[in-house]
Chains A and B, each alone.
Chain A
């Protein structure tokens, strides 16, 4: 791991499942068609895509639970097929969903057991268990059975389990799925704090989460990477999604066309429409630069009898990015 620039390399990963029963095969299901990406060290990298896009299958291949049908991948410099044991030593994984912990054991007993499975010494297990439980705020519940924990507490314990052996790389599969908003915010904060000590591969279908946490994102759809880059880069590729919406108290009767032309002549503006409303007018401006457009438009409107009621700036979202690259909405 030392000196490596990339925590994870995946090249042309493909995973096909045979369809059909024991005696009759009915073709193949392609779960992952062709996925390549590289996770830089010390960053959070996101695999973003709708359900069934191939994210979980990809991380199963990276975490040695599945053998790729084609392509290759390295985690911490180790090949996921030929050096699977070394990969598992350098990797902590939080799988999606509620399972993966022993409900009849306490949080502490779960961590102690997994510490042994990772080959840690008794002293390391004891100290690390205490530290990790403290970190995620579960010290007071450490000796309670996990079956009595809330979903959020279980998810925090999952993260603790993945971090127990201090792996340089973490894979988090939909870690906030099913959590209430407050618990999700807490967990996102904990994930953000993992870098740069750890490198994180995060799969999610929550675009806000990806936008908030990831330095770089690969958008996956139907088993392929359809776009990749930083959130800002991805959004910059979407044309026409930046909008400034201004509502005025006045209807601009008689001068609407003049205002429309004047705003339309501003440099970053692509198009403008003015719509009369019950209590004034609504100006919707499509543009390339919302800050400049807003600044210039407000200056311009001072020349007219128009007092501003509300101003809304709409930046493109990753949803818009997905729509533009996949040709359909996220759901």
Chain B
């Protein structure tokens, strides 16, 4: 029979969706992943809720602590799952022994990396529901005045997380120990993006660095839109800021992916199992 092919754009989308589907199928094959999946976000939320309570804080930046943390943990999970899934894409393939098979195909590497990010985001969606339930039980109050604003902020948070994943993904082609760098960068990224603490508590000299992390303004926009009833117009600047920073991280990541693939093929380090 004759084999027919998709055009490049449709091929990119199909690769992205197929990768995310394969990621979900593979993840759900592990019992331990199914157990860990809802518990992780719940424990993170509970730990921070108790910490704020012990510090005597009933509200943060005009929102309830539970509401503030709900958005923060949502951002944290989106950020970490996307970064770890997309940034780790090559390392996952290496662990499976499929990295050579992947690099032998003409598929866009960017589509595969993005597919990992999307798969991981979808994988964690049900745990957000459990998290929201816990937040409401512990006093979270929502004020969504403009649903499109909340959607725009959520999308920008996902894009920001994916962009960060792209920026890290190339590292894993060159080194299986790239996760050590990612681990080191994780804590300052949480701090700077204000996921679990108010940005206003950061010292002034750290604020410019905070603005360079793509998720920071997306989290601000999300909090304002779901907890304080902000409109699309009022969060527009934050969303645009986040998207602009994300584009920079994406471009760095895409160039990095191409460069490191070439370097890895040149030095013979592409598919170390």
B29 within 8 A of A: yes
B201 within 8 A of A: no
CB distance B4 to A105 under 8 Å? no
Scan A257-289; emit 1 where CB is below 8 A from any B CB, else 0: 000000000000000000000000000000000
Residues of chain B within 8 A (CB-CB) of A101 are: 98, 101
Across the interface, name the chain B residue whose C-beta is closest to A88.
B106
Residues of chain B within 8 A (CB-CB) of A114 are: 101, 105
A99 with B15, Cβ < 8 A, contacts A109-B25, A118-B107 known: no
CB distance A119 to B268 under 8 Å? no
CB distance A64 to B104 under 8 Å? yes
Residues of chain A within 8 A (CB-CB) of B103 are: 64-65
* Interface positions of A from 82 to 135, Cβ below 8 Å from B: 85-86, 88-89, 91, 93, 95, 98-105, 109, 112-114, 116-124, 127-128, 131
CB distance B105 to A88 under 8 Å? yes
CB distance A66 to B98 under 8 Å? no
* Interface positions of A from 53 to 85, Cβ below 8 Å from B: 63-67, 85
A20 within 8 A of B: no
Residues of chain A within 8 A (CB-CB) of B112 are: 117
A21 within 8 A of B: no
Cα separation A10 to B267 with both chains bound (whole Å): 20
Cα separation A85 to B22 with both chains bound (whole Å): 23
Cα separation A165 to B15 with both chains bound (whole Å): 15
A27 within 8 A of B: no
Cα separation A329 to B8 with both chains bound (whole Å): 51
Across the interface, name the chain A residue whose C-beta is closest to B1.
A127
CB distance B265 to A105 under 8 Å? no
Cα separation A121 to B18 with both chains bound (whole Å): 12
CB distance A88 to B267 under 8 Å? no
Residues of chain A within 8 A (CB-CB) of B11 are: 119
| Cβ-neighbour of A116 out of B1, B15, B101 (below 8 A) | B15
B97 within 8 A of A: yes
Chain B nearest Cβ from A294, distance in angstroms: 50
CB distance B1 to A65 under 8 Å? no
B5 within 8 A of A: yes
Across the interface, name the chain A residue whose C-beta is closest to B112.
A117
Identify the interface centre among A65, A101, A104, A119: most chain B CB within 10 Å of its CB.
A119
CB distance A102 to B26 under 8 Å? yes
CB distance A100 to B101 under 8 Å? yes
Question: Is the interface on chain A under 10, 10 to 19, 20 to 34, or 35 or more residues?
Answer: 35 or more
| Cβ-neighbour of A121 out of B4, B17, B96, B98 (below 8 A) | B4
Residues of chain B within 8 A (CB-CB) of A63 are: 104
Scan A3-32; emit 1 where CB is below 8 A from any B CB, else 0: 000000000000101100000000000000
B91 within 8 A of A: no
A166 within 8 A of B: yes
CB distance A119 to B96 under 8 Å? no
CB distance A124 to B4 under 8 Å? yes
Scan B1-44; emit 1 where CB is below 8 A from any A CB, else 0: 10111101001001101110110011001100000000000000
Residues of chain A within 8 A (CB-CB) of B104 are: 63-65, 88, 91, 93, 95
| Cβ-neighbour of B6 out of A88, A95, A103, A121 (below 8 A) | A121
Identify the interface centre among B17, B103, B107: most chain A CB within 10 Å of its CB.
B107
Cα separation A93 to B104 with both chains bound (whole Å): 8
Chain A nearest Cβ from B3, distance in angstroms: 5
| Cβ-neighbour of B106 out of A65, A95, A109, A118 (below 8 A) | A118
| Cβ-neighbour of B265 out of A66, A122, A166 (below 8 A) | A66
B238 within 8 A of A: no
Across the interface, name the chain A residue whose C-beta is closest to B101.
A100
Residues of chain A within 8 A (CB-CB) of B133 are: none
CB distance A120 to B270 under 8 Å? no
Cα separation A122 to B21 with both chains bound (whole Å): 15
CB distance A165 to B3 under 8 Å? yes
Residues of chain A within 8 A (CB-CB) of B6 are: 119-121
Across the interface, name the chain B residue whose C-beta is closest to A127.
B1
CB distance A66 to B22 under 8 Å? no
Cα separation A118 to B11 with both chains bound (whole Å): 8
Identify the interface centre among A109, A121, A145: most chain B CB within 10 Å of its CB.
A121
CB distance B18 to A113 under 8 Å? yes
CB distance A65 to B3 under 8 Å? no
A117 with B1, Cβ < 8 A, contacts A65-B270, A99-B97 known: no
Chain A nearest Cβ from B39, distance in angstroms: 22
CB distance A95 to B96 under 8 Å? no
Chain B nearest Cβ from A251, distance in angstroms: 61
Known pairs A89-B106, A113-B21, A117-B15; list 6 more (Cβ under 8 Å).
Answer: A65-B104, A99-B97, A100-B98, A105-B22, A113-B19, A124-B1
* 11 A-B contacts (beta carbon < 8 Å): A93-B104, A102-B98, A109-B22, A114-B105, A116-B15, A117-B18, A118-B107, A119-B107, A120-B5, A121-B4, A122-B14
